[in-house]
Chain A
Amino acid sequence: MKKKKKKKKEAADKEKTEEEAAEPSEFGDLPPKRKKKKKTDMLEFEKQLKEGDEVENRQDDDIFVGEGEQDVKETKVEEAWLNSDRDYTYQELLGRVFQILRQNNPELAGEKKRYTIVPPSVHREGNKKTIFANVADICKRMHRQPEHVIQFLFTELGTSGSIDGSQRLVIKGRFQQKQIENVLRRYIVEYVTCKTCKSPDTILTKENRIFFQQCESCGSTRSVSAIKSGFKAQTEKRRRQAAQ
């Protein structure tokens, strides 16, 4: 994340210096080659910007919230009608009621503690591996055994991997943070949140080789499907191994 930001800034700086450099030569002769290069740089820069946005503009109900990102929204409920002579709308008034209620009696406003998880910290190692560094942390937050979560990750991604010495998950293949997030989100829907009351406060137990999910909030129990890998295509490497 930080690295990306830095990159972006660098690109912006580069853009700037290039612009400055280009300006005086507008009167003189600017080689066309250079202009072309600038254009591609601009495209690259825009692409980077977009990529950055994707990570930064999280939705309000996203469970993956970085530390410090949380609850920024609540403080800015604006009472827009104050600065004009129009009437307030119903929605605005409703917002005001809830804001005051939240300030004074949060429990009356139906304020539940939002279930959030730090985003997975994902980066590439070399050309063919991906490191998911905070897997243990995220499993703890979900109250799930890492083995179960990792099994799900591997089957969904159609790959394999291992845990390294510092408890990080090494995944074969290239995966982006967003992609890992998507798989984790599906895991949470299928194995963590209670289908009855939507609470994420559940435990997973195994009885007679069937997994049961029990809700700590409402007490309901349901069986959850086993993680099945299904069909796995033979990639060339494995075929060679099998031949040996």
Chain B
Amino acid sequence: MSEIQNLQTYDPFADTGEEEAGQPQGYIHIRIQQRNGRKTLTTVQGLPSEYDQKKLLKAFKKEFACNGTLVQDEELGQIIQLQGDQRLKVQNFLGDNGIDKNIIKIHGF
């Protein structure tokens, strides 16, 4: 959380309002949502486009033994949706496969 500001890759003088325009900013957001009852849903937003999302989803499903789908969002691009709380597993999986853990943001409780 408290990284040294100077080492961050973005321009600190840039208008931060830019972020609001739905630009992924290179961050991968992993979120959780509650469904009816005690069931949960994990969403992964902002995966690098050089990865084949379908293959990733397939790998997630196999690795975490859960169901999932690919959702196309108008502004945010392709989103991977997984059943259950897979947030840590997704983070570890991406980290183990060469994605910088600092660009992964886990949200939720």
The reply on A98 being an interface residue by CB < 8 A is no
- Number of inter-chain CB pairs below 8 Å: 77
Please give me the residue from chain A that is nearest to B76 by CB atom.
A231
Interface residues of A in 189-240 (CB under 8 A from B): 189-190, 195, 208-210, 223, 225-226, 228, 230-233, 235-237
Residues of chain B within 8 A (CB-CB) of A180 are: 109
A235 contacts which of B1, B41, B107, B109 (Cβ < 8 Å)?
Answer: B41
The reply on A158 being an interface residue by CB < 8 A is yes
The reply on A103 being an interface residue by CB < 8 A is no
Please give me the residue from chain B that is nearest to A181 by CB atom.
B109
Structural contact, A233 and B41, CB atoms closer than 8 A: yes
Q: Is the interface of B mostly helix, strand, loop or mixed?
A: mixed
Interface residues of B in 1-32 (CB under 8 A from A): 1-2, 5, 15-17, 19-20, 29, 31-32
Residues of chain A within 8 A (CB-CB) of B81 are: 233
Structural contact, B29 and A230, CB atoms closer than 8 A: yes
B interface residues, Cβ below 8 angstroms from A = 1-2, 5, 15-17, 19-20, 29, 31-38, 41, 43, 45, 71, 73, 76, 79, 81, 107-109
19 CB contacts below 8 A, A to B, read A156-B107, A157-B108, A158-B107, A174-B34, A195-B5, A208-B17, A225-B19, A226-B17, A230-B29, A230-B31, A230-B45, A231-B29, A231-B43, A231-B45, A231-B71, A233-B33, A233-B81, A235-B36, A236-B35
A interface residues, Cβ below 8 angstroms from B = 128, 155-159, 172-176, 178-180, 182-183, 186, 189-190, 195, 208-210, 223, 225-226, 228, 230-233, 235-237
